[in-house]
Copies of this chain bind each other. A is one copy, B any other.
């Protein structure tokens, strides 16, 4: 299965364009996965998400085990059926959310005991339990349970945590039930320490996974340090398997990481920014709440073919946010996800036509300008 899951059909430098063949369909890579945390991409019906060009979604073990619970979702026909999304779903194993959202009570070799951020009730998550939950959800891509270290952190602590994550990875892999079209990815940890990252990769390769995720980045270390970790790390990853950079990132992060050979991404930025009135365009990050947009009849982005840009003016969107109308977050989320998916499509096409450098340089110069100003 491992060999046939991922087909890289084009390369440009270290970057790759490929297809990930999963039980619920093919994913075109480089891919961006919208975050559907608790069984919904916030403010978007599944048909709307589909219309943005997304072909895979991310769900979270952590949120779904709390509400409504994995057994309930299983009885309701699995996560795909529950949320009316019939294309692939990758589920995060819960490691990151337990660390970032819950109150951890105890973490030891067996797993992690935590209190839910929702109501304080106690839960226990082990590698086996996380894999079992993901099985019940029906995830196309299961993630091994890991501990996600924060930044900055002492090297010994990172090393100890990474080694436990690798032992958990082995337990996750053993618990995973192999079926055609269903994959399990391991997660490389090791913080910003090159030797620890290498050790982690070596362990995961020994175990053998369908894909390799890079965790523990985009946690405050900055783009430069993140990219330097990728520079050092990617060469050690298996050549023919998908590489997933978890929780990343801005359009600039994504472009640069694709250049380093990354195939998959997920991030709350396009959805969360959309809810707070920030819209991505190739020319700038537009804060639609800014009064300069109050009378502007132009769309958010004249280059964009999304429904928001085709049907509504900046003045209208500004008005919606000013009035607290939920339609504002809905429309901006739709635009931002479309922007991200168009970016991925542009990157794929550039790789296929061996034009990635020129395509990216132009885009980066626009985006870097945009990150510090606004049109």
- Measuring CB to CB, which residues of chain A are less than 8 angstroms from any residue of chain B? 38-40, 42-47, 63, 67-68, 72, 75-77, 82-84, 294-295, 297, 307, 311-313, 315-316, 318-320, 322-323, 325-327, 329-331
A313: nearest residue on chain B (CB-CB)?
B76
Instruction: State A83–B323 Cα separation when bound (angstroms).
Output: 14
Q: List 28 A-B contacts (CB under 8 A).
A: A38-B325, A39-B320, A40-B320, A40-B327, A42-B325, A42-B326, A43-B327, A43-B330, A45-B307, A45-B311, A45-B327, A67-B322, A68-B294, A68-B318, A68-B319, A72-B294, A72-B315, A76-B297, A76-B313, A76-B315, A76-B316, A77-B297, A82-B313, A82-B316, A82-B319, A83-B316, A84-B311, A326-B326
In the complex the two chains form, what is the Cα distance from A44 to B315 in whole Å?
A: 18
- Whether B330 and A326, one on each chain, are in contact in the complex, defined by CB atoms closer than 8 angstroms, is yes
Q: State the number of copies, please.
A: 2
Q: Which residues of B contact A315 (CB under 8 A)?
A: 68, 72, 76, 82
Q: How far is the CA of A20 from the CA of B339 in the complex (A)?
A: 42
CB neighbours of A323 from chain B (8 A): 38-40, 63, 67
A326 to B319, CA, bound (A): 19
Report B-chain residues with C-beta under 8 Å of the C-beta of A294: 68, 72
Name which residue of chain B comes closest to A333, CB basis: B326
State A262–B27 Cα separation when bound (angstroms). Answer: 55
Known contacts A82-B316, A297-B77, A330-B330; is-contact A311 B46 (Cβ 8 Å): yes
Cβ distance A122 to chain B, nearest Cβ, rounded Å: 19
* Distance to closest chain B CB from A112 (angstroms): 22
Question: For A63, what are the chain B residues with a Cβ–Cβ distance below 8 Å?
Answer: 323
